[in-house]
Amino acid sequence: MTLELLGAFGKSFLFVFAALLPILNPAATAPIFLGLTKGASAHTRAVLARRIARNMVGLMLGSMLVGSYVLDFFGISLPIVRIGGGLIVAAMAWRLLNASHASEDSRTELAEAFTPEHAKRQAFYPLTFPVSCGPGSIAASITVGVSLHDPRLTLSLARMGGGALALVAIGALLYLAFRYAQQLLRPLGEAGTVIFLRLSAFILLCLGVQIVWDGASELLQGLLSTGPSRSMPTPAPAAGG
């Protein structure tokens, strides 16, 4: 029994890690984090990275454990979550695309304005949701959580424990990617960093539109499949036949 529980724990760890890491993709969202925290000091970015990683693990763990029950309670479908979250992602990407390049004076003003209190207010929205883990990640976490359930309580707990440990490992990678985002992009130079940030913002915009499209397509397919079927009227029998 112990070997079975350990096997279920290890398999669920690998399953959740492999399923959610490519979707969360900390390396791809690190440039977005860098662009949204323009003007912040290195210490403030480190504090933000730690808060975002903690928030991400909590949000994804809650979605994995009870997300499907919460959506059922409020009568919210996953396509609606995708559409709402996709609109937020697209709006944030549009803001990044239209952000003007900061001069030396404006950088000083931004650094003074981006206080630790300001960073705390942005730690969850928009830096955790939807930048670090968006509606697609939450939907994937809910789906993964459903697949981890088992009729046997001990086996279900072992699988959930492995999934929770995988989320903690992904959170550690997210912290490292955000904490050292500036150092990772430093070889590109100032001009290369600006170009890379704009390209990342454009990809994020396309991702937001894709999320909205996926949600709208699911809603449309649901309407077409559950819509009233129009059958041909049955001809009346001929009189005197």
Closest CA to 203 of 115, 211, 165: 211
pLDDT band at 111 (very low <50, low <70, confident <90, very high): very low
Nearest 10 degrees: CA dihedral of 69, 74, 80, 83? -100
User: What number of other Cβ atoms are within 10 A of residue 128's Cβ?
Assistant: 23
pLDDT band at 104 (very low <50, low <70, confident <90, very high): very low
Residues 73-98 have pLDDT tens digits of: 888 877 887 787 778 778 877 877 88
Of the two residues 36 and 235, the one the predictor is more confident about is 36
> Helix, strand or coil for residue 238?
coil
Of the two residues 155 and 198, the one the predictor is more confident about is 155
Percent of the chain exceeding pLDDT 70 equals 84
DSSP E strands in the chain: the ranges are none
Q: Which of 73-77, 173-177, 227-231 has the lowest mean pLDDT?
A: 227-231
Which pTM does this prediction carry? 0.70
